Chain A
Amino acid sequence: DAGITQSPRHKVTETGTPVTLRCHQTENHRYMYWYRQDPGHGLRLIHYSYGVKDTDKGEVSDGYSVSRSKTEDFLLTLESATSSQTSVYFCAISPAGHAFLGELFFGEGSRLTVL
C-alpha cells in the first residue's frame, strides 16, 4: 500500500461547473503526478509537482490547474468542466524522485463524468 488516497472516487457534474479532485499521500514524497486515462490512449500526464508550490505542466495541461500547499496534498482543478474532460484521473507518487528515475505508485483513480 503506497498510502495514496484520491477523492472523490466518482463524480458526475455538468458542463461549465468547477471540479476539484484531491490526492493525499501519507509518505511525504516530493514528486506527485496527475494523469488521465482514456480508452486507446494509455495514461497521459496533466501536471506534476516537485514540492510545495512547485508545479509544472504535462502533455495535456490545457483546461486544468493544480495546487500544492502542503507536501501531502495535490489538488487538480477543472475550472469549467467540458465533456472532453470525462475520464478516469489517477494520482501517482515517485519515491525515487522524478518519475522517470524509478517506480511509480498510483492511487485508485477518480472517475469523472461531465454531462
Chain B
Amino acid sequence: KQEVTQIPAALSVPEGENLVLNCSFTDSAIYNLQWFRQDPGKGLTSLLLIQSSQREQTSGRLNASLDKSSGRSTLYIAASQPGDSATYLCAVSYNNNDMRFGAGTRLTVKP
C-alpha cells in the first residue's frame, strides 16, 4: 500500500528559527510531490510542487527537497514567523494515477 507519513505530528518553535518538516513515502515510483499549507478552518493552499525529475524547489523562505531513492521530502522554512503557524501537508502523486496525502505537521511559531 502506498503510504505517506509526516513526523512529527506537531512542532513548536520560537520565532526566527530555521526549521525542517519531514515527509516520507513508501513507493519510489512517484510522479510528483506537493507541499500544502492549511490554516484552521480553511482549505489547502499549494506551496511547492516538485516533479520526480527535480531535486528541489524554492519559493521565498521555503525550500522543498526530494530524494526518491530514500522515499523522503523535506520542507525547509527559513527565519520562521508567527504567520507561518499552520498545518503543513505533503501529497505524493504516483505513476499509477494515485495521489496520497500525509496527515500533516501542525506548526506553531511563538513570538
Contacts and interface: CB of A to CB of B under 8 A. Distances in A.
What band does the interface of chain B fall in when counting residues whose beta carbon is under 8 Å from A?
Answer: 20 to 34
A40 B106 CA distance: 12
A103 B93 CA distance: 11
Interface of B: 4, 31-32, 34, 41-46, 49, 89, 91, 93-94, 97-104
Contacts of B91: 43, 104
B34 A103 contact: yes
A41 B103 contact: yes
Given A42-B101, A106-B44, 18 more contacts: A40-B103, A43-B89, A43-B101, A44-B101, A92-B44, A99-B99, A100-B93, A100-B94, A100-B98, A101-B32, A101-B93, A103-B46, A103-B49, A104-B34, A104-B91, A105-B46, A108-B41, A109-B41
A19 interface: no
B103 A107 contact: no
What secondary structure prevails in chain A residues at the interface with B? Answer: mixed
The list of the 4 closest CB pairs from A to B, nearest first, reads A106-B43, A100-B93, A42-B101, A43-B101
Nearest to A45: B99
Interface core residue of A35, A103, A109 (most chain B CB under 10 Å): A103
A34 interface: no
Given A42-B101, A42-B103, A43-B89, A107 B34 contact: no
Contacts of A41: 103
A109 B4 CA distance: 22
Nearest to A94: B99
Nearest to B97: A100
Contacts of B45: 106
Q: Which of B42, B43, B45 has the most CB of A within 10 A?
A: B43
Interface size class of A (residues with CB under 8 A): 20 to 34
A98 B103 contact: no
Nearest to B45: A106
A4 B47 CA distance: 18
